[in-house]
């Protein structure tokens, strides 16, 4: 089965699979998973928080790869992919930050902690929001802007390790209140639910990106048709 | 590619750009005035005239430099684009990376020429010994990393309106590591925090990283 | 606010975010499709 036939399954196979997976995930996360001893039921937010974070990294990675492919091939379908993935990434970054804050308030006592991972995620959000605003603020078929934004997306993605490193040093070289962190070693049942949630949310992200690509391609087609009519 | 030819092109392009900037005084004069005004605004807003200011100074200085730099960077390709210089260079045998490097050097010289007097002024205004050799080193290193990134970003060819608006929005998130490193290194040079060595390393790393990636990416972007 | 409310708020935001994206995207796809069809129909009637 080649890539194209796989892509053609997007309307028949992907939506029901995604729907079932996300429903099962909600059931598992809210009902089946055992209640955490220390944190209580709030810990169940982990099952949406962690997968959202992974989905946002996946989406931004896809944006960077599509941008590179656009620079190489100059084919606007890769530009459409980069834009769609960036938007999906932004949504999941926002969800990650919000669910993280809602978990942090009862557990840490604060909504926000200048933790390296949280801060890097916020900066990542700002970078790709700037990318999307810049890309959308000009015509769809402007090749110069598309090329420029692709370069920006790649640089932004490659900047992430540097940002993470600098924020971590910034925090560790300063005195800070000690925050009790979760013990990362999860019991097996919780681990299984987490893994399932990750798979489900990644599927949702893939479906969203496919839908987004479809929309971008449609608007490109519309632009082409309009150009021909005039 | 003839290296000697490209090298001579780099020199002559840089010199020409600096000469043009010197003659067209509005760009660097507004940047310098903006830096002075921002310093003044900060001293009113944070009440720098009284009390112990040394812990605030690095942050104040670097935010002033960051915003003043955005100011000058947003104008850097303006004249070239208006006069069609970039299109002329594109069909000439000069490699795009050389164009980028000459612009970066010219921006670097301009910004450094503005920053050094601002440092001197801050020394006088706040009675702190800011004008010292290791802080000047930090400023030059930070400015190098800063210019190499903002020059690339300012090459974007949006409509003339949104270019100036988009540049800070796009540049500032990427510049977070630079800002943190510069502020911390300056603070340690002012004996506020103990160890400045890792921050200097981060500054060098950032400068190398941005210069390399921008030199590679500029031919693709423009 | 008790802890269970935070759990509820988190899941509500998550689901609301997903559905908002889906609805907005479906609407955009629909308007784009109708616009394309409209232009194509106009052209066909011009040709005939």
Confidence of residue A153 (pLDDT cuts 50, 70, 90): very high
Phi, psi of B209 (to 5 degrees): -60, -50
Least confident of A33-37, A117-121, A212-216, C41-45: A33-37
What is the mean pLDDT of the segment spanning B5-33?
Answer: 85
Q: Higher model confidence: residue A115 or residue A3? A: A115
Residue A84 has pLDDT above 80, yes or no: yes
Closest B-chain CA to A152: B153
C9-42: pLDDT as tens digits: 888 999 999 999 999 998 999 999 898 888 888 8
Looking at the predicted structure, is the pLDDT value of residue A40 above 80?
no
pLDDT of residue A34: 76
Q: What is the mean pLDDT of chain B?
A: 84
Taking an 8 Å Cβ-Cβ cutoff, which residues of chain A contact chain B? Answer: 71, 123, 126-127, 130-131, 133-134, 137-138, 144-145, 147-148, 150-152, 154-156, 158-159, 162-163, 165-167, 169-170, 173
Q: Cβ(B96)–Cβ(B218) under 8 Å?
A: yes
Per-residue pLDDT at B51 exceeds 70: no
| Residue A4 or A134, more confident | A134
Q: What pLDDT is attached to residue C27? A: 92
Nearest to A130 among B169, B176, B222 (CB): B169
In chain A, pLDDT over 70 holds for what percent of residues?
Answer: 90
**Over the range A49-82, which residues count as b (16 or more CB within 10 Å of their CB) and which as e?**
bbbbbbbbbbbbebbbbbbbbbbeeeebebbbbb
- Tell which wins on pLDDT, C30 or B79: C30
Let me know: does C17 contact A205? Beta carbons within 8 Å.
no
Does the interface predicted TM-score (ipTM) exceed 0.95? no
Query: Which residue of chain A comes nearest to B150, CA vs CA?
Result: A152
pLDDT at A178: 43
Q: Place B198 in a pLDDT band, splitting at 50, 70 and 90.
A: confident
- For the segment A171-197, the average pLDDT, to the nearest whole number, is 65
What's the Cα-to-Cα distance from A73 to each of A76, B15, B67, rounded to whole Å? 9, 36, 36
Tell me the pLDDT tens digit for each residue of B81-110. 777 777 777 777 888 888 889 989 999 999
Rg (chain A; Cα; Å) = 20
Most confident of A9-13, A110-114, B2-6, C36-40: C36-40
Q: Which pLDDT value is given to residue B160?
A: 47
pLDDT digits (tens, 9 = 90+) for A90-100: 999 999 999 98
Percent of chain B beyond pLDDT 70? 92
Angle at B131 (CA atoms; ends B128, B137), nearest 5 degrees = 130
A with B: 3 or more CB pairs under 8 Å?
Answer: yes
> What residues contact A175, with CB distance under 8 A and at least 6 apart?
none
Torsion of CA B199, B205, B207, B210, to 10 degrees: -130
pLDDT digits 0-9 by tens, B141-180: 999 999 999 988 887 655 445 667 788 888 999 999 999 8
Of the candidates A127, A144, A145, the beta carbon closest to that of B173 is on A127
Band (pLDDT 50/70/90 cuts) for residue A3 is low
């Amino acid at each position: 089965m080649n890539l194209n036939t796989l892509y053609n399954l997007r309307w028949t196979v992907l939506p029901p699979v995604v729907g079932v997976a996300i429903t099962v995930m909600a059931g598992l996360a809210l009902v089946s998973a055992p209640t955490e001893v220390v944190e209580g039921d709030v810990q169940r937010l982990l099952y949406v928080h962690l997968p959202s974070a992974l989905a946002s990294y996946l989406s931004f990675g896809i944006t960077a790869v599509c941008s590179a492919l656009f620079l190489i091939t100059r084919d606007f379908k890769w530009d459409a992919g980069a834009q769609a993935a960036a938007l999906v990434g932004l949504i999941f970054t926002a969800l990650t930050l919000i669910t993280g804050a809602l978990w942090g308030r009862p557990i840490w006592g604060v909504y926000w902690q200048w933790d390296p991972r949280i801060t890097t995620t916020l900066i990542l959000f700002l970078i790709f929001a700037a990318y999307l605003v810049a890309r959308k603020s000009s015509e769809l078929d402007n090749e110069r802007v598309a090329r420029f934004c692709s370069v920006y997306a790649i640089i932004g993605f490659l900047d992430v390790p540097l940002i993470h490193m600098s924020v971590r040093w910034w925090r560790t070289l300063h005195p800070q209140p000690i925050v009790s962190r979760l013990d990362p070693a999860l019991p097996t049942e919780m681990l299984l639910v987490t893994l399932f949630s990750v798979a489900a949310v990644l599927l949702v992200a893939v479906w969203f990106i496919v839908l987004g690509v479809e929309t971008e391609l449609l608007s490109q087609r519309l632009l082409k048709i309009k150009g021909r009519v005039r | 590619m003839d290296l000697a030819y490209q090298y001579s092109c780099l020199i002559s392009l840089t010199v020409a750009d600096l000469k043009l900037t010197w003659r067209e005084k509005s760009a660097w004069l507004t940047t310098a005035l903006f830096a002075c005004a921002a310093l003044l605004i900060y001293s009113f807003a944070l009440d720098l005239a009284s009390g112990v200011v040394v812990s605030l100074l690095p942050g104040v200085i670097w935010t002033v430099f960051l915003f003043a730099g955005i100011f000058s960077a947003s104008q850097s390709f303006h004249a070239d684009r208006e006069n069609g210089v970039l299109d002329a260079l594109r069909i000439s045998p000069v490699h795009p990376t050389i164009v980028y490097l000459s612009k970066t050097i010219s921006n670097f010289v301009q910004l450094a020429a503005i920053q050094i007097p601002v440092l001197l002024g801050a020394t006088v205004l706040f009675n702190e010994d800011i004008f010292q050799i290791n802080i000047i080193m930090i400023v030059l290193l930070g400015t190098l990393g800063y210019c190499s990134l903002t020059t690339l970003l300012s090459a974007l060819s949006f409509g003339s309106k949104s270019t100036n608006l988009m540049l800070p929005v796009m540049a500032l998130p990427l510049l977070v590591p630079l800002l943190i490193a510069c502020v911390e290194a300056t603070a340690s040079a002012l004996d506020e925090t103990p160890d400045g060595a890792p921050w200097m390393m981060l500054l060098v790393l950032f400068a190398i990283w941005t210069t390399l990636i921008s030199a590679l990416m500029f031919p693709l972007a423009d | 606010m008790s802890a269970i409310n935070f759990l509820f708020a988190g899941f509500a935001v998550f689901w609301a975010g997903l559905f908002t994206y889906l609805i907005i995207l479906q609407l955009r796809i629909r308007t784009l499709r109708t616009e394309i069809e409209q232009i194509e129909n106009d052209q066909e009637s011009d040709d005939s």
